[in-house]
Amino acid sequence: MEFWKDETEPIKAFIELFNRAKQDTELYEGLKKVNQLIWFDYTENGPNCSFYVDCRGGEVKVSPGKPDDQPDLTMSLSADDAHRSWSNKLNPVMAITRKKIRIKGSATGLLKLAPKLKKVATIYNVTLKDLGWESKIIS
């Protein structure tokens, strides 16, 4: 991995990102509208390198690992490309087209949030800084 020392680091960063994004009313409401169980599968970087976001039932829950329920949407990519994506340095639509992001299920609802990636990237960079990982911020 280019940005991470082990499989636990990206999951820690991405879960914290989503927990902080939930504090932003616009992002929280957007996530609730997705109304899906989404598994972010980065297991090509290690068996425990994944997390899920459950946007069903008017709530947004974030947890490490694979969900017990069948996900509505699985996004498979490397933890490094996820880092680039959350940093707004990898266009998700282009990445899907180029097979850097592989999708199983319907990503329509999630892709509606793509215009919010700039805001997400700002939250992500603050998260990295607060975790002591300023060196991971992509300028």
| Residue 104, pLDDT above cutoff 90 | yes
Nearest to 128 by CA among 75, 70, 89: 89
Nearest to 120 by CA among 27, 15, 12: 27
In this structure, what token pair is assigned to residue 45? 């970087």
| Percent of the chain scoring above 90 in pLDDT | 83
Nearest to 21 by CA among 99, 116, 89: 116
Q: Confirm whether pTM is higher than 0.75.
A: yes
- Please write the tens of the pLDDT for every residue from 38-95: 999 999 999 999 999 999 999 999 999 999 999 999 999 999 999 999 999 998 888 9
* 81/88 Cα distance (integer angstroms): 10
If pLDDT is split at 50, 70 and 90, which confidence band does 109 have? confident
Question: What are the extents of the domains in the chain?
Answer: 8-127
Superfamily of domain 8-127: SCP2 sterol-binding domain (3.30.1050.10)
